[in-house]
């Protein structure tokens, strides 16, 4: 079964190049082209397309907006959008994926990868450029799966240590904490040291993260 592809790009040269590459494949067929977002929407009213290869940077209606509209009005899952851009920026990629794109690649990918991506997207799966995948994971890996429940780790701390941790987690230095709790800075240092050791953390920065993640502190509370 052949995949019907539409190419959306304002540069005729790019369109021609993509068409060349894609039409060389027996299972891919470029059935439409468009020069910007508005044009793409008009063409999609008349032509059945499985995958839209969409440049993000375009005049008049940019690729993100076009992607949003295409995804908004599709009813049977098609067409799916594979977003392309020249620039490896988080903003472009996230905007496109948020708008509903099923894939995101940089324009400098080798032809085979582009073709593979089109097949994957046509199948209903997704492809994201490695540099963007990394950023995705950086941001969301912590939210995957079930949260590891309320930390039993905090129970290991003594009352005093929890108190100190709370202050650490508010951004105070050892000296400031010492002033607040009315003890010498040396004392605070030993407390902080014990906290890090017990919780198996490296520095106070990680302690702050744990304080938030464990619910010891809540943003705005």
Query: Where along the sequence are the contacts to its own copies (CB under 8 A)?
Result: 89-91, 94-95, 97-98, 100, 102, 120, 123-128, 130-131, 133-145, 147, 159, 163, 166-171, 173, 180, 201-206, 208-209, 212-213, 215, 217-221
Which helix (H) or strand (E) segment holds residue 105: the answer is strand 103-106
Q: Is the backbone of residue 220 left (phi > 0), alpha (psi -120 to 50) or beta?
A: left
Count the residues of the shown chain that bind DNA, applying the rule CB under 7 A.
24
CB 83 within 8 A of CB 96: yes
Which helix (H) or strand (E) segment holds residue 93: the answer is helix 90-99
The rounded radius of gyration (Å) of the Cα atoms in the chain is 26
3 vs 167 by CB, closer to its own copies: 167
76 binds DNA (CB under 7 A): no
User: Length of the chain, please?
Assistant: 221
46 binds DNA (CB under 7 A): no
Strand 3-8: give its sheet, edge to edge: 28-34, 3-8, 51-55, 80-85, 103-106, 127-128
59 vs 171 by CB, closer to its own copies: 171
Q: How far is the CB of 163 from its own copies (least distance, A)?
A: 6
Question: Of 138-177, which residues contact DNA (CB under 7 A)?
Answer: 158-161, 173-175
Q: How far is the CB of 104 from its own copies (least distance, A)?
A: 9
The span from the CA of 66 to the CA of 116, in Å, is 23
25 vs 156 by CB, closer to DNA: 156
190 binds DNA (CB under 7 A): yes
Contact residues toward DNA (CB under 7 A) are 158-161, 173-175, 181, 183-187, 189-193, 196-197, 202-205
């Amino acid at each position: 079964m052949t995949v019907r592809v539409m190419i959306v790009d304002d540069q005729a040269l790019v369109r021609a190049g993509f068409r060349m590459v894609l039409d060389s494949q027996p299972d891919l067929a470029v059935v439409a082209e468009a020069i910007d977002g508005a044009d793409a929407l008009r063409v999609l009213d008349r032509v059945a397309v499985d995958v839209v290869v969409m440049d993000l940077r375009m005049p008049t209606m940019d690729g993100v907006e076009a992607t949003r509209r295409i995804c908004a009005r599709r009813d049977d899952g098609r067409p799916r959008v594979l977003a392309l851009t020249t620039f490896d920026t988080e903003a472009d990629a996230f905007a496109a994926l948020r708008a509903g794109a099923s894939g995101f690649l940089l324009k400098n990918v080798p032809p085979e990868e582009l073709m593979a991506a089109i097949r994957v997207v046509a199948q209903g799966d997704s492809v994201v450029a490695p540099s963007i995948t990394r950023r995705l994971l950086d941001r969301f890996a912590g939210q995957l799966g079930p949260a590891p429940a309320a930390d039993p780790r905090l129970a290991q701390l003594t009352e005093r240590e929890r108190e100190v941790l709370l202050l650490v987690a508010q951004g105070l230095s050892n000296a400031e904490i010492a002033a607040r709790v009315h003890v010498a800075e040396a004392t605070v240092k030993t407390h902080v040291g014990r906290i890090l050791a017990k919780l198996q953390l490296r520095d106070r920065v990680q302690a702050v993260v744990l304080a938030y993640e464990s619910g010891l502190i809540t943003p705005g509370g």
